[in-house]
Every structure is written in C-alpha cells, then in structure tokens.
Structure 1
Amino acid sequence: MMTAEASTEEYGLSDWARQFDVIVWTADAVTLQLRHVSPTAAGILGHPLEQWWTEEDFLARHVHPEDLEDALALFLDRARRRTERSGVLRFLDANGRALPFLTKVLTLEHGEGHAPELRCLMVRLERNTRASQESEHSHSHLRATLESTTAERDALLRKEQEARERAEALARRLAAGESRFRGIFESPLIGLVLSDNHGRVLHANDAFLRIVGYSREDLEAGRINFMDMTPPEFHAVTRRAMEEIEARGVASTFEKEYVRKDGCRVPVMLGSVRLPDPDENATFVLDLTERKEAEAERERFFRLAPDMFCIAGMDGFFKRVNPAFTRILGWSEEELRARPFLDFIHPEDRGRGEEQLESLRRGNAGPGLTVRVSCTDGGWKWLHWAAVPVRETGLIYASARDVTQQRKAEERLVLAEQRLRTVINSGPLVLSVLDAAGRFVVSEGKGLQGLGLSPGQVVGRSALDMYASEPAVMECLRRGLQGESFSSIVRSAGLTFEVFYQPVLNEAGRVTSLSIASLDVTERVRVEAEREELIRQLMHERSILQAVLQQLPHSVYIAEAPSGKLYLANAQAEAQIRGPAQPARNMEEYRAYPGFHADGRPYEPHEWPLPRAMASGVPVMAEAVHVIRGDGSRGIIEYSATPVRDARGRITHGVVVGVDVTARMEAERERERLLDELKLAVSARDEFLGIASHELKTPLTPLALKLEALARAAGAEPESPLARRLASHVEVMRRQVKRLAGLVNDLLNVSNIRGGRLALTLEPRQCDLAALVRDVAGRFDTEVKRAGCEVRLHAPAPVQGVWDSSRLEQVVTNLLANAVKYGPGHPVMVSVEAVDGRARLTVRDRGIGIAPENLQRIWGKFERAVSERHYGGLGLGLYISRQIVEALGGTVRVESALGQGATFIVELPLRSDAARSA
C-alpha cells in the first residue's frame, strides 16, 4: 500500500490535473513516445486518450507549426541539458483551434542503460471565448495584435504570470510529493524497490538492501534480480504475481522467501503495482523474520501446550485445534473439524453448550463452562472451557483444561461423604463422643435401634451410669477415658459389637473427649460361625472328590491356564501309561510325552487337546492319541479336554479325561473283519438264491403243464372213476405248484433287486388301476372262500395311469394275499380312487393286526410280524411290493394295531417315468 501511494506522489498527478485545468504526461526523452497521459487531456484538447498513445509523433503533430521548433528545443534541450525548463506553447485541439499552454518540462535520468524520462505539466492560459478566438489566428497576427495593443499585451502577460505562478505552485506540490515519496522510499521500516518486468532491480532503498544482504554497489552494478534471489519452490507464486500485475496493474500481497547474498533465507511479504512506465513495477518488501519467529514461538506454544487450545467459528465448527485435543480425546484434527463441536458434548450437557455458544455469538465471553466431551474410546472427559469471541472476524478463541480427575476426586469426596452418611444412617453403626467426665456429647447411627435408642436420645447422660451394671463395658470406658486407643468385642443387650475407642488429647496430654465407634457384628459373628462350618464341610467334600478322582476308571489331569502346568493326575493316569506320571511345569515340557497321531507323527506341545482347549475356550472331545506305555506296549487313549472358567468367564484351568480305548479299537477292527465276512456270506447267499430260483423254476414249468393236461383229461370224462379220484388231488397239486412258483418268483425278485436287475418299465402303457384290482380280486375267489372271507371292492370310477401293469399286479396280489392270510373269517375292504392328482389303493383287513414296534420291520427282507410256523412264506412279499411302488414313484405305508387289523395304503403318480426301473 505504501508503494502504491509513493508511486502516485511521483508519477500519478491525475487528481491534481482534475482539480486544475492542466494536462500531465510522460514520454521517452529521446523519442518523445508518450508513456502516460492524464485523463484531463481528452477534455481540454478533445483528442481521445487512445490517440495520444497510438499515434506516432503525437506531440510534434499537434503543436502549432509556428511553435514546433520552440517545442522541440524545450522538450529535447540537447544544448544545455537543463533538468527543469518551461515556456509557452500552442497546441491544436480536435477542432483545429490553437490553445496556449504554460509548459513546464522535467527530465529524469534512470541510470546507465535506461533511456531518460520526460515529464511535462501543461497549464491552460486562456479560458474565455475571446482568447479562444484570438488563439485561432496565426502566431504572427497574435504578435502584431499584442504589439499594437499594450493593454491586451499587459493582460496576456498578467495571465501568463498567473499561469506561471499556478505552475510553480503545482511544481512545489510536486516537489513536496516527491519529498514525501523520498521519505517513504528511504524509510528503514520497509523495503521499497523499482524493478522491470524481468525482475531486475532498478532502484531500491537501504531497507531492502539490508533485507537481502546486498550493497549499493551491487545495485548500481545491476547484480540484483528478484528471480535470482527466489528459491525454486517460490517461482510459481512469483510468476502468478507477475501475471496478476499484467492483468490488473497490481498484485495482491503474498509471502515468499529470498535467498540472501550470504546464502541464508529470509521470509518476506511482497506487494507490487504497475508504474506508468509499462516496463516498471514498484514493490514493497516487508521482512517477516521477527514475525515468523514469533509465529513459530506461538505455534510451538500452541502445539506443545498441555492444555487444549482451539479456534472456532460462530457457525459452530472448529477451525483449528492443537495436538492436546488428540492426546486427551483421541479425535484427529480432521475428525474434530468435520462435525459441529456441540456434537462432541454429552447429551445431558448439550443444552448448556448451546446457551454458551449463543452468548458468544452476542459477544459475551461468559464465566466459562464445564461439560463432558466424548472420546474415541467411547468414554467421556470433563473439560473446563474459557472462550473469547471476536465478532469482527467471526471467530471464537477458546482453551480447555481436562478436569476429569478433579471432577472424579470431587465425586469421590461427595460419594465418600454420602457413603459415610449412608453407613451412619443405614448400617448397624453407633457413633458416640464422650466428654472427659464420660457424658454423651454425640450419639448417632442406625445401630441405636438395636439398643432401643434413637439418635441424640442419650446426649447429656453419663455413660458410666448407663453401663454400671455391665463390667466389661465399664472397663473399656475407663481405659478409653484414661487415654488408651484400642478395640474390643463387647456384648450388650443380647448383641455383639466391635467397638473402637479413640481418645482426643489436648496439648497437656489430657483427655478432652473420647470417640467411640460401635459396629453391630452380631450377624457377622453368626456368619463367620457358619463359614467355619462350611469350610469344614468343604474340606470333607474335597476329600471325597479326591477319593472319587483316584477311583475313577479313567485318567484325569488338571492343569493351570495359561501356563499348562500339570498339578494333578489321578492313579488311573499312571495305570493307563503303565508308569509314573511326570508333572510338566509348562506346555513346552509336553514334548516329552510319547503321544503320536494316527500317521505316526509325534504330537507337538501346542497340538495336545489340553493346550488347544485352554487357548480356544472350546472343549476338545474324544481325540484318539496313540501312546507308547512305560512297558513298551502301544495303546490308544481318547483324551477329552475342557477349559474351566471363573465367575468372570476367564479360563483359569483345564481338565483332561483319558479313556483307554485300545481294547475297543481292537474289538471294532474284529467287528469290521466279521462284517466283511458277513457281506461275503450274504453275497454268496444271494448268488445261491439266484441260482436256486432259476433251477427250481425250470422243473416247475413242465410240472404245471402236466397238471393242466391231467386236469383237462379228467375234465373230459368227469364221471369216470379216475376223474373223480384225481379231481381233488389235481386241485391240491395245482395250488401247491402255484404257491411254490410264487416262492421261487419272490426269491428271483430278491436276487434281481439286490443285483440291480429288476426291470419295472419294460413295457409301460396306459392302464386302469380299478380294472386291474378288480381282475386280481376275481382270481382270489377260491382262496377267499377257503378263508371264509369276502372282498368288498369300492372303485366307482376308472383311475388311469402309465404304469408297469405286471409289476403293479404283483403288488396288488401280495397285499390281497396278506389280507386274506392274516384276516380269515372277516371281510377285506379294497378301494381305488384318485386323490389330489395321485392314484390311491387301500387294502384293509380285520385280522390280527401288527404291533407298533413291527410296523417298520415288516418291510425288510425275510421279515414278518408273526411266526412263520403258523403263516408260512418267505417274508419277501412286502419287501418286493415296497421296492416296486417306490420304483414307480409312489409310496406305501401301513396303519395297524394289535387285534384291530391292518390298512395298507399305496399312492402312485398318475404319470410315472417310463424309464424308471427297480
């Protein structure tokens, strides 16, 4: 700002030009090229300012031709080289009129290598119309008029004198301005510099030279350049300032550093302004060393202060906080600045925080505020805040001190007082104070109720009189009044008290009062007696537990956690390993135990079940460990380890139970061997059944054919004696052959099912389940009549489906045969219907029924719920039926109870997969 003012004093006389009818301009003293023209020039001469700048030889072309030689001599003054000179010249306005001006010229030298500068002040001499008209005549006519008219000449001379005086006054003001600028320029407080656009310093005051460490000789020799003194990291900001000068004519103040001549760096603040000369800039340079040191000291104090300092805005957000915030609260500066600071205050204290913020916004500092503030660990800190608002900047400067411990101490003190008062008023305590004569001065406490007294009731009475009949109490009172401090157990009024006697002595050592604290310990004495009894019981139970542990059939180990130290092993532990149990002092010593994985790899210390259970907190159950016993034999022990926790859930111990499973493992291996043999035997049986069924089926076919032929022959002559003799025998043989064929088919089916060769969908086709059941039931007429049964069929409508009819016929046959066999003398109810998209076949009898425990067993191979001696058969019918139904995508189940018959229910999908097979 100072540089801008100085520049105006020296170069910019625009304000003066507007106040007086004058024109101020500067130009190159050699070429007369204009550099600066005051705005008044356009109003006085009428030529636009742009024409002054752009038109070549403007001055020479607009000076009156008769005054051109005098003007050039005045402007250039090559002969006498005068610094200051003046004269009267006429200039042509835009309308071609000649206007006279008192012209004062000043030449300034800018040193070697720089062109001198010409500065001019033009004062209008005539302003009235008559003078303006006369100025339009030629110079010769004006001279003749002046010579012929003395009055007019004298008037013109007077006006010239007045103009000269005004010009001289302006010159004096200019000189005063130059003097003030010189005073500012030479001020030791701030560096002032004139430089060109390339950073070369043209002029500088001593303050600047002192800042950068260069001499006046360095300046005159042209060895000082802004860019050379600027460190690389500040080149960008310097270039931006130069660009701002080019665009606006002034650069905003900014901070940077200079490299002094001695190589040291100095922090500075710069501000620049463009001078009328387009190649020159004026810059002030302020040394910031002291300020930076003060800021560094302030910053050091700000960052290292143990208390919390911050700057906040009236908007409720932190602007800056010192590291004490993070150290005390845990929040980073970014986290603190991201949220309104009221968010960090405890909800119960937030109302007071809002009131304090509103007071600060009104400009009131207030007495301070103590609130709870959240920490990153979820806790709260008590902070005492002191804040000062600055309304001009909209900022709040605040400090905070952690008073959490102080608050806790105060709370503890209050709590202690409350506890003491609570103890006195609610506990079985009596507080008494006796004077030197033994009279009660104080008597308080809830324990008085047990004595039938109220607080303060005995004040003023003598304790010696009250307890005269109780020698033990009297003895204690006398000892206390004699100055002895002690405690005693006293029994009075059926209660037991623990009494503390504390005499108070004066400077002479005499008792002035006796403080007595009596605690009713009647209940505690009783509880202690019970505790002693419990301890005796516990020791007894512990001895029992020790006996149980020693007599358990399994080994038991107990270890400490987390060290793994084994401190108990029962007798069975040594019996299992057939040697002494070596107590390990830590887990690393587990390495000595001969335990191995199933692959023979030894157990590492951390792999044993006990360390794993104690480390994870999860029990390890029945882990088989191969061991080498003390006698050299090998065995397998299943160890189960469980962590033991205390009341707070911490693992304090580990318990391991070992079960010797060597014999069991050997038995399992033997069982597996026998199972393999059994599988071989079953396979051989199935193979035998397959072969036997095929071999048996071969003679049955011709036998059946012979019986049929014999039956036809007997039927051809039914009245012959032979036919009558054979009829009954042929029928018996036909039934037995049929029965034998059924048994053979069942054996063959079992063999095929086990071998995966039972085909169910060889010829799948559409069939009616109702018609199929009706046909099968018709074939059972002979068996039904012989059993005294009746088949009652309920099939009101056809039930169509795609099934293997031959296999389905086999299922119906088996179910009807069972119903007739196990329910003789009772009707058999059969129903066929379509339910929910499925075909349902129900066969119900009223026979002997099936026990509940046999309802699942009857579906197995060769299984039956009754004795085979009474009912015969191989026990394969239901097994085969179930295989067929499930292969068709259906289900079969039975509902029954003993003595209440049985109901078999078959459900089939109406559309079965054609490719399904058994």
Structure 2
Amino acid sequence: MSDTRPHSARRTMERLLRLQKVTSKLSQALTPEQVAQVIVQQAGPAMDAADCSIFLLEEPGVLRLVQLVGMSRRELEPWTCVTLDVPLPVTDAVRLGEPVWLESREAVLERYPAMSRLPLSHGRAWASLPLEVEGRVLGVLTLGFDRERGFAEEDRDFARLVSRQCAQALERAHLYARERELREQAERARAEAEAHRRQLEQEHLRLQAVLQQLPQAVILAEAPDGRLVMGNAQAARIHGESVPANWSKEEYTIARTGFHADGRPYSPDEWPLVRALTRGELVRGEVMEVLREDGSRCSLSVSAGPVRDAEGRVTAAVALMEDITERLRLEKSLRQGEAVFRRIMESEMMGLAFTDKDGLIHEANEAFLSLVGYSREAMERGALRWQVLVPPEGAEAGLRKQRELLSRGVVTAFEMELVRGDGSRVPVLTGAAQVEERDSTLSFVLDMSDLKRAEGAVRFLATASRVLGQSLEVSDATLQHVADLASVSVASWCVIDLVTPEGGLRRAAAAHEDLERVPRLARAWPTPSMQDSGGPLLEALRSGEPLLFQDFRAETWPRVSPGFVPLEQVMEAGEVCSVMVVPLRSHERALGLVTLGACKPRRPHGPEDLSLGQELAHRLAAALESARLFLESQRAVRLRDEFLAVASHELKTPLTPLRLQLQGLRRVAEGHGGEPVPTERILRVVRSCESQVRKLAGLVNDLLDVAKLARGRLPLHLEEVDLGAVAREVLEQLSAEVVRTGCRVELMDRERVVGRWDRLRLEQVVTNLLTNALKYGAGRPIHVGVEWAHEVARLSVRDEGIGIAPEHRGRIFGKFERAVSERHYGGLGLGLHITWQIVSALGGTIAVESEVGHGSTFTVELPRVTADEGSRAMLAEP
C-alpha cells in the first residue's frame, strides 16, 4: 500500500471539514449580498487562496464586482464592471462555462495582456470558476494565490465543489428575495381588494335604489354564496310573495320550482341567476316556468348576467324576468318535441346519426363523427356510409340486423366494431329505429373502447400474474412469456431489460406481434450501460418515473439512448408508434425497464395507459424481488449447512489427535506396571495435547466472537501495547505450526511501534493473519513488517503462496467466506471476518493486495490512539 494514502485521506478529510464550514456559513446567509460576503470570507480560505472576489451577472453581458477580500477595491478599479467581450479570466469563465486555471503570473500576462495594468503583488496563480446552477451562470468566483502553483485534479475537483455550493447558496438567496417581494405584492393586493370591496358595497346600495324603479322584475344576488340581497316589487308580484332579505341561493333554488321549456325541472345549478353567478354566464331571454305558492304556473323570459369588478371577477349577478305566459302558451307544445330531440342530438353521451335507405349518413352529431373519425365536411359531401364503417367480417351480421329493422322497425342493441376514418377500429354498442316522419333510420352508438381496454388490461395482468406465480424463480423464459402476452393483448411489441451486476442492462425478453420483427427488435432497442452519461432510458431507470413517447418514429429510435447506434431499423419508414417505458423498481432499487410500444392499427398509448404499464412493472418487480429473496434464502440455508458441516469437522479435528494422545499415554502408564513414565514422553504428549487444545480454544473463541458481533458489540480493553512485541509473541506461539508448514517467517520491526490498543484483540489479529499466511503460503517464506507510516501504525503480512483471485477479494472479509474450497483448506471462514471487525473497532483499516500464484499481502493500519477509550460498537459489515 502506498505511503501517500493516509496523507491523501487526511487531506480529503480536511477539505471535507472546510467544505462543511463553508456550507454551514452559506446556509445562514439570506440575501445575495450576505451570500457574496460569506463566499469571499470563507470560500477563499477554504481553498488556501490569498484573495477572493465575486463577480455577478447583474445584467445581460455585464459582470460587476460585488465583494472581495485580500486586495483593495482600488487595485481592481478598471475591472469592477466589465462586459463579456473583454478578454479576462472572469469573462472567459462565463463564456466557456468552465473554470480558468492560471498557474503563474507569467501565464496570466501571456494569456491576458490587459491584466498587466493590475498591480500583481504576488507570485501568483489565479483561478476563475463560474457560479453555475442548472446550466445558468450567475457569476464568477475568482481566487488569487500568493505563489505559483499547479492545480492537481483533486484541487480542481474541490474548487468546483466549493463553487457549486456557492452558486446554489446564491440561487437560494435570489429565490428568497423573490419570495419576499411576492409576499409584499400579495399584501398590497389584499389592501387593494379591500378597497374594491368597500367601493362595491357603495355601488350596490346605489344599484338597489335604481332597480326598485325598473318596470321589469329584478333579482340581485351577491357572490360568492349567492345570497339574494334585493328583489323589487315586480319580482314579488311574479313569485306571488315578497322576496325575503338575505335569501340564500339554496333557499331560492329549492323553495322555488322552475321548469325548462320542455318541462324538465331546473336543478339548483341550472337557474339563470346561479349560472351567471357561478359560471359568469350571460343568459339572454331564456324561457322558463315557475311554480307559484298558490300552485299556478307562469312562463318567464329570463335574462341574467354577471356583475364584474375592474379585474373581471364576478362579484354579483342580476336576473331580469318578464311574464310571457300568454305568448308562449300556444307555442309550448310544438317547441317541446323539438327541444327534446335537439338536447339528445347535442348530447355528448352517445353518437347519433340519421341514415337513408341506401346507407348514406346525412346527419350526425359531433359525438358520432368524433367516434368514427370523420369530419362534418366529409359527411356533407356524401363520403360517410355504413358500408365503409362496417368491417368485412361484420357484413353478414349487418344484413341480419337490417332485416330485423325492416320487420320490427327497431334493432336491439348489440356489440360490434366500426372502422374509423384512419383505418383503426373502435368497439361500440349500437342500435337503431326507423323514423317515419323523416323517412330515415336513427342509429345510436356508444364507445366501448375504455371498457374493452380495461377488460383486456385486467385479463392481461391476471394472466401475467399467473405466469409469474408459476415458479419461485423468474427465468428469461418466464419473462419472454409475459412479453409475448403483452405483444398480443395490450401492445404491438414489448421489451424487458434487467439490470446486471456489472451495471448495465441485459435484454431478458423481446416480443413483437409481427414475429419477423422480433430478432430486429431484440438487437435494435438500446441497452445503455449504467455508466453512460444519460439519456431518457437511464433517466427513467434512475428516477423511477415512467416515460411516454406519443409520437415515436424511426428517427426517434437512436435518441432514446445517446451513444447507441442501432445497426438496423425495426420500424418502417413513416410508421408512427407510441412507446411507454416503465422502470422496474423494488425498495428504491432499480431492477430494469419494461417497454411497451403501440403501432397502428392499435390505439396509441396515452397518459391514461401509464397505470397499466406501472401495474405490470410492479408485478414484474415483485416477482423478481421474490425470486431474489428465494435464491438468497436458499444460499443462506446452503451456507448454514456448509458452515455446520465445516464447524463440526473443524471442532472434531483437534479432538481426535487429543483423544489418541491421551489414550496412548494411558496405555503407556498401564504398560509400565506402576513404574514412573519417562518425563520426556509425558511432556511430548502434553505439548501435543496443548497444541490441539489451543486449536480447539481458537475455534470456540471465533464462534464466541461471532456471537458477540451478532449482538452488535465486542468490548475493547485499551492499554499501551508494543505492536512488535505482540508480533514476536505470536510468532513464538506459532513456532510449531511454522515448522510443520515448512514456511520461513521473517519479522521486520526496526522501530518501536507503541499505541493505545486492546492487546488481546491485537494478538488475535496477528494470529489470524499469520495463520492465514501459513495455511496458504505453500511452504514459501512469509514476511511480517511492523513500522510507522505517516503517524499510523502499519502491520503487513506477506506470503508467496497461492494468492487470491480478483473475483474473491471483495468477499474474503465476509462471515463464513473463503476464496478456496474448505475441502482442501480447513477453517470456519471466520478469521478474516473477525480481524476486519477488530481493526475497524480500533479505528483502523485492513486491505489486501494479491496476485494468483504470487501470494498475498494483508496490510493493517491503526491510529496511535483508538478514538473510544471505553468499548467500541462493532456493527459494520465489510
């Protein structure tokens, strides 16, 4: 491991603390001026700048100096206000939208000769960074340094990060100022409204006096509640009683019974006065009947209109009524029939059409024309006939219904499809009746598209759920089945992409209603990498929001993912589709994308269809998540079983030789017939037994440590510890194991490394690393190093053994994990996991470098003093 890494880490932490301080100060600034002052006082020191200045774009094309520290304003007097065409670092930063880095005074003057007029009193390097928010440049942050310097990439990244924080704070301050301005405007508006209200009250009083003198019946209602504030004497005569003061709109419309000219009663919101009041509608000469208190009726011609203030708001409504009972008595019966018919024809609830005996449609309402996709001009020139609306397969059923019409005069309602003007089809419920007075047939049609589409969607989702639920594992074949179902029921084609562990998208399924296009679709629809810069597909995947392309053409195809160039086209020239892209997500985790395309003659997808796509995505995501959990549970059970088998084997391994040694010692003792057993033989057996007991104790201690870790804590007892002494003691304890494995261990501890750590846990770390090296060292030398590295204690254990494959390095510190088979190398798979936990608890780090066939190097770095002097919680996972 490089010696510069701790230094880099400390420098990174120092910069993060500086950035946190800048951010904290910026969050307290409320106005642009305060923000600019904080920037020059905090951002410059945060980046070790000698001086700092802020230029803002207060008007288009002009930069103005607003704050500076470290220099006098007199020194920058020529550039306190500059236009963007002047060649300066600040203007270049705005025009280019990129920082300008100048590493010396010579570089400044070479690139910007005009700055020779500036008294550059320092050596010095400059940096000008644009303050940019969402593509808009608000100004420039300029930093001056008191010496020449280069700008490393990490320095530039940190400077950009600080400038972005400053720009965002500046934008917030602008928004806050704007909000304050809007509040003040709102207060002024309320005051003006109150003045208008008082003026309206005065005008209302004057109006009441005038209305009492009019010959027509007048009723005045006030907005917004519809309270009747005045009714003149003529109104009382028409109603048969006086109009009570403060009569509410509800009391007026419910207590009074009014009727339309066709006899229908007025609903509360249909009264002309109410319409004028609530809708601002102007009613002229509307005829209505009113039921008086004595049971008699009178016909009225009613005009109503809103009274608006200067801003166009409805503040009141007035109704003028004239009794026209006698004049309308004879006309009423003739008008009623025509009114009923016209109401129905004008209704948007259903399509109505009149057809002659040859099938020519000569009159139809807008609902019918919209449903079949023809214009009124096409109908009037004779282009609209039932023969073109009925599809070929429905001709026979049409003849049967025509015979029914001739025999009975009516056709009972039935379902069928009609061919629209653009060639698409629409499901309808239709029926007909002969109209003898007109010598024609009246047909009605009701659009069944929404109902059929909803039924199809429900059937599709139910079938898809059944397919996904047939197995606990969701294979590509299962996803292909779902895509096939989608392409024949709710879409023209379907593509399902899944996120791979490597960060890209994998084509899991592709289906098209035209089977010849399936291979081209699978190859041509883009599968961008998660590392790409962007594009609609990745944006949808990352945001979780669906996409809808309602006008999707062949030329649109490459734009859904920048950088992806399809080698072949799936769509035909001039073909237009609608494409819906819905992310698959589970617990804020991106799983993939499902894409549904609808091409003619299928109805294009609209915003209302997004719920179908999201429901499908939800079911797919749930199935994929369930499959993942099932596989993880199987892996956990398998890992548990493997661990129990290995643990039983490992615990049994030291017991077997221990038992054999003790049995042998007993046989020796019994064979001597009471004579003393040689001390040397007893000691040899005891040493062998002690070795096996240590192995057994180590295994038990590992299991106990794992149990403690599972509960979330592993206590530490801190004291002054010599890391080199610990390494020597562990080597002495493992001397027999060293001899047995044939490895030669070299300890390099040329300096004394002492810190405040837990001695027993540190012994455990050294023991685990050395045991690991002896196990995999293949009898070759092992090098142990103890040293100080940038005020950090470093322990390194390097072997020249089998090494670790790259794909296994990320998991060797996990619980029960191994890089090799337990059949060839024993152990519970806990040593490195416990080591990682102990090192983390001591505030340190552990890293591994390895090459297959050339050994591995484990490096532990510990701070001189552990942060927590008591005990430290160990809850992290590697």
Q: Structure 2 length normalisation: TM-score?
A: 0.28
Report the structure number with the largest CA radius of gyration.
1
Q: Which of structures 1 and 2 has the larger relative contact order (alpha carbons within 8 angstroms, sep 6+)?
A: 2
